Amino acid sequence: MHFPHVLPLITILLLGAFHGINPGMGWLFAVALGMQERRLAAVWRALIPLTLGHALAIAMVILVAVAAGVAAPTASLKLPVAVTLGALGIYRLVRHSHFTGGGMRVGMGGLTVWSFLMATCHGAGLMVLPVFLGMAAPAHGASCHAAGAASASAASAATATLAHGVGYLLVTAVVAWLVFEKVGVGILRKAWFNLDLVWAVVLIATGVLTAVL
């Protein structure tokens, strides 16, 4: 792996960790399932579809960017991504809507779909996209053939998705375990900060940085 790719991958991994902290992105659902079944194993079992759904949402956005990047310069994607990020952040400042499923009795497939929809609605993939575009740009310039550029971009997409998934899974697992075993869900009322507000601000800031850098 080239050194210029290391810092973006670390950033993408840390974004996965940031996404994992958000209770609306999965760990609260895992804890609820554990409390419903009264065993920690239910919490661990929920982490698999939660991570898979989240990773699929990230991969979908990245692969769309890869497909667009093969046909157009990566730099041309910056402004649309920046505008979309800013608009989504402003929307989340105004409205705090969440997708809700059909109750806690869900299987692996249903939980995967729920996680995918939550990550998509929160703009998780869009938050990762500017970092990925910076990582993928050298790969586009390294080859004069479309097939070679597409292959390099696909490899970068897979690596970025994996790194993000690892960060998300580690933090989601740790937070879910701590809440389930140690502190309880009461921490959401007593000590939790407003992650909806933080999330909206990060989306807007990422959009601005994408546009100006």
Instruction: Write the Ramachandran bin of 66: left for phi over 0, alpha for psi from -120 to 50, otherwise beta.
Output: alpha
Give the model confidence (pLDDT) of 57-103 as tens digits. 999 988 887 777 655 555 666 777 788 878 878 887 777 554 444 44
Selection from 1, 8, 14, 19 nearest residue 125 by Cα: 19
Residue that the structure tokens 């609820």 belong to? 32
Phi, psi of 176 (to 5 degrees): -60, -45
Residue 191 counted as domain residue: no
In a domain, 120, yes or no: yes
* 205 inside domain: no
Half-sphere exposure of 109 (CA within 13 A, CB side): 0
Q: How far apart are CA 179 and CA 6, in angstroms?
A: 32
Residue bearing the bigger pLDDT, 15 or 202: 15
Q: Is residue 72 part of a domain?
A: yes
Tokens found for residue 175: 């937070």
76 or 117, which is more confident: 117
Tokens of 113: 């779909």
N residues, the chain:
213
- What is the domain count for the chain? 1
Higher pLDDT, 21 or 82: 21
**89 lies in a domain?**
no
Domain-embedded: residue 119: yes
Q: Which residues, at least 6 apart from 191, have a Cβ–Cβ distance to it below 8 Å?
A: none
Examine residue 88 and state whether it is found in any structural domain, yes or no: no
Q: Which domain holds residue 15?
A: 3-78+98-185
pLDDT of residue 163: 93
- pTM of the predicted model as reported, rounded to 2 decimal places: 0.74
Query: At residue 129, what is the residue type?
Result: L
Q: Where are the alpha helices (DSSP H) in 22-39?
A: 27-37
Phi, psi of 144 (to 5 degrees): -95, 0
Residue 54: pLDDT band (50, 70, 90) is very high
CB-based burial, 99-133: b 16+ in 10 Å, e otherwise: eeeeeeebeeeebbbbbbbbbbebbbbbbbbbbbb
d(CA 153, CA 155): 5
Q: Report residue 23's pLDDT band, with 50, 70 and 90 as the boundaries.
A: confident
Q: Residues of 40-51 as b/e, b for ≥16 C-beta within 10 angstroms?
A: eebbebbbebbb
Whether 208 is covered by a domain: the verdict is no
Q: Cβ(27)–Cβ(170) under 8 Å?
A: no
